Structure 1
Amino acid sequence: MTGAPLLKVCGLRDAATAAGAAKLAIDYIGFVFAPSKRRVTASEARDLIAAMREEGGRQRFVGVFVNPSLDELDAVLSEAPLDVVQLHGAETADFVRAFRERHPGVRVWKALGVSGEADHSAEAVASRLAPFAGLLDGLLLDAYDPHVGGGTGKTFRWDAIPAYAAWTEREGIPLFAAGGLHADNVRELLAAHAVGGVDVSSGVETDGAKDLTKIRTFVERVKP
């Protein structure tokens, strides 16, 4: 990895925070459309995107989904101008292929939950991801949770990163690390592993709401 990593802040819901974030060195803003306390509607995301654009924000916008139907994605994209769809469930390569055919201008990231019990050798990872070769624009690693897609505030086994990084390097796509990141541990991650980007959500919240001061501090740690 060369230069500063990409930075995604996920789970924005209110206009004031969005307006403040628009002025920061954030590359991607994530909106959660899956069941979550951070969930937004397509119209809410549309309005937040418009508010950030009015403030001069140049961020790209990511929709986070867990096992959506193609019709659901069609409906959201007809209203909210997303740049990226992040698939955080058990979506198959065939599903990704079908989506790309319907929306060739929208990028696709696949999120994977990293389980401590799974085999994270280079061979196992390459085999697991082989069906997605040539179909993805980014891969995101998060803490595994059997009940929710992400946003748990838990870290995963960072020693699993190199095998996934090798695959994404061959694919020519960025690898994002998520899960339990905050201002006090993100530099440790970046010093130990050459990831292409980081994704933060609960680590920049206070009492369950996005905290612009924490967001600013996190940005400073990632992009000094």
Structure 2
Amino acid sequence: MSPDRFLSPAAASLKICGVTLAKDAERLAELGVEALGANFWPNSKRYLAPERAGFLKELEGRILRVGVFVNPDLKLPARLFREGLIDVVQLHGDETPDDVVRLKEAGIPVIKALGVRALGDLQRAHEFGADGILLDAHAPGVYGGTGETIDWTLARRFVEENQELPVILAGGITPDNAAAAIAAVRPAALDVASGAEESPGVKDFEKVEALLTAFGE
């Protein structure tokens, strides 16, 4: 799947984030999940060390591979992209619009994550010039994966007022609320981490299949 197709508002896509195991990544591709996320932030409980990420190369063209980074030295995402391990960079920290520009100038698609507490948190979305914006729960110092749900009413308002900017909805998405999240927000994609795993970094495929079913509701 291409980044453009993943970010298309025509139909919601699914991204399973926090993948650490080759067998889980392979199974996600087999099931037709549109995208996976690999977290390259060392402080994450779902951390995937770059030297252990070689299995991502084998998935090229079968599933969109999103590398998740928090305040990185930009040489790392650029190298992983150049080596064919990732297709998209997701910046989940306190990165600046200049960071996004530098990556995009290197030909790398970029998703910028924003922590959302109130409408004011969304005012900077367009400053980044990213290919897509990921809306997640505000969690200082944690940078995602908390399982906390954001205000879907705010998210829906943002989607309606910024139809040219693809939105990925994260934060507390589970098989039980995925269909409702799609209906309420109309995002380009849902991003699921804790709602699709049995333990941090280990996926639960009963939950993954339930999520896929929810996309058909």
Q: TM-score, normalised by structure 1?
A: 0.84
Q: Which has the larger radius of gyration?
A: 1
**1:195-218 C-alpha deviation (Å, 9 max, x unpaired):** 111010110111332112211111
1:131 aligned residue (106, 115, 127): 127
8 Å Cα contact 2:15/2:34 also seen in 1: yes
Q: What is residue 142 of structure 2 aligned with on the other side?
A: 148
Asked if 1:211 corresponds to 2:204, the answer is yes
Gaps of 5+ in 2: 1-7
Q: SS where residue 31 of structure 2 aligns?
A: coil
User: 1:167 offset after TM fit, Å?
Assistant: 4.9
Are the counterparts in 1 of residues 19 and 38 from structure 2 also a CA contact under 8 Å?
yes
Question: What does residue 191 of structure 1 align with?
Answer: 183
Q: Structure 1: which amino acid aligns with 2:19?
A: L
Partner of 2:151 in structure 1? 157
| Paired residues of 1:88 and 1:111 also in contact (CA < 8 A) | yes
**SS of match in other structure, 2:44:** coil
Q: Structure 1 unaligned runs (5+)?
A: none
* Identical-pair percentage: 38
Closer, same or farther: CA 81–213 of 1 in aligned 2, 3 Å: same
Give yes or no for contact 1:9–1:199 (8 Å, CA) kept in 2: yes
The aligned residue for residue 221 of structure 1 is: 214
How far residue 93 of structure 1 moved from its aligned partner, in angstroms, is: 0.8
Match of 1:98 in 2: 102
Q: Deviations over 1:48-97 (max 9, x none)?
A: 341x35xxx62111000111122232343344531110011111111111
Separation in 2 of the partners of 1:136 and 1:46? 26
Number of the residue aligned with 2:3: none
User: In the alignment, what sits opposite 1:110?
Assistant: 112
**What SS does the aligned partner of 1:217 have?**
helix
Provide TM-score, normalisation by structure 2: 0.87
